[in-house]
């Protein structure tokens, strides 16, 4: 699966952004999809994931109630709607695909190139 993330940008605290991750190649709908983020000088951390069917979603505690993950398998795309953004959300956001556990970064087989989200205070 080739993944292409987009939608990042510079916003102010409280604003919203929607990230998209378009997949191509192998059957996109076979994969659980995740979003991760990496702030400068920090490790890459889990943000959210969605099961292959879209029936189950998972969120890291700090984004619960603010971020919403969704997917459209007909369009081979997964989305991350980010509302009420905070400066601490500033990071490069990566999408990734796995047929395994959504919570283990090492389980993800394919990665997009990342899109930068910068939230100013």
CA atoms within 13 A on the CB side of 20: 9
Hey, what are 115's tokens? 């899109």
Residue 27 pLDDT? 86
Using CB atoms within 10 A of its CB, is residue 58 exposed (0-12), middle (13-18) or buried (19+)? middle
**Arithmetic mean of pLDDT, 95-121:** 93
Nearest to 33 by CA among 118, 93, 83: 93
Q: What is the pLDDT confidence band of residue 38, given thresholds at 50, 70 and 90?
A: very high
Average pLDDT over residues 78-103: 95
Closest to 121 in 3D by CA, of 85, 92, 91: 85
What number is the average pLDDT over the span 48-68? 96
* Band of pLDDT at residue 102, cut at 50, 70 and 90: confident
Does residue 86 come out as left (phi exceeding 0), alpha (psi in the -120 to 50 range) or beta? beta
52: pLDDT strictly greater than 80: yes
Reduced to 3 states, what is the DSSP secondary structure of residue 58?
Answer: strand
Q: pLDDT per residue over 6-26, tens digit each?
A: 999 999 999 999 999 999 877
What percentage of the chain exceeds 70 in pLDDT?
100
pLDDT at 31 over 90: yes
8 Å CB contact between 68 and 81: yes
Alpha carbon of residue 14 to chain centroid: 19
């Amino acid at each position: 699966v080739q993944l292409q993330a987009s939608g990042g940008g510079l916003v102010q605290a409280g604003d919203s952004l929607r990230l998209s991750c378009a997949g191509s190649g192998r059957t996109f709908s076979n994969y659980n999809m995740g979003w991760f983020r990496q702030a400068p000088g920090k490790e890459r951390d889990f943000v959210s994931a969605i099961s292959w069917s879209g029936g189950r979603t998972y969120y890291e505690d700090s984004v619960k109630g603010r971020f919403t993950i969704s997917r459209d398998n007909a369009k081979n795309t997964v989305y991350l709607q980010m509302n009420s953004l905070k400066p601490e959300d500033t990071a490069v956001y990566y999408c990734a695909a796995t047929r395994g556990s959504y919570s283990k970064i090492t389980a993800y087989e394919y990665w997009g190139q990342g899109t930068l989200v910068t939230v100013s205070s």
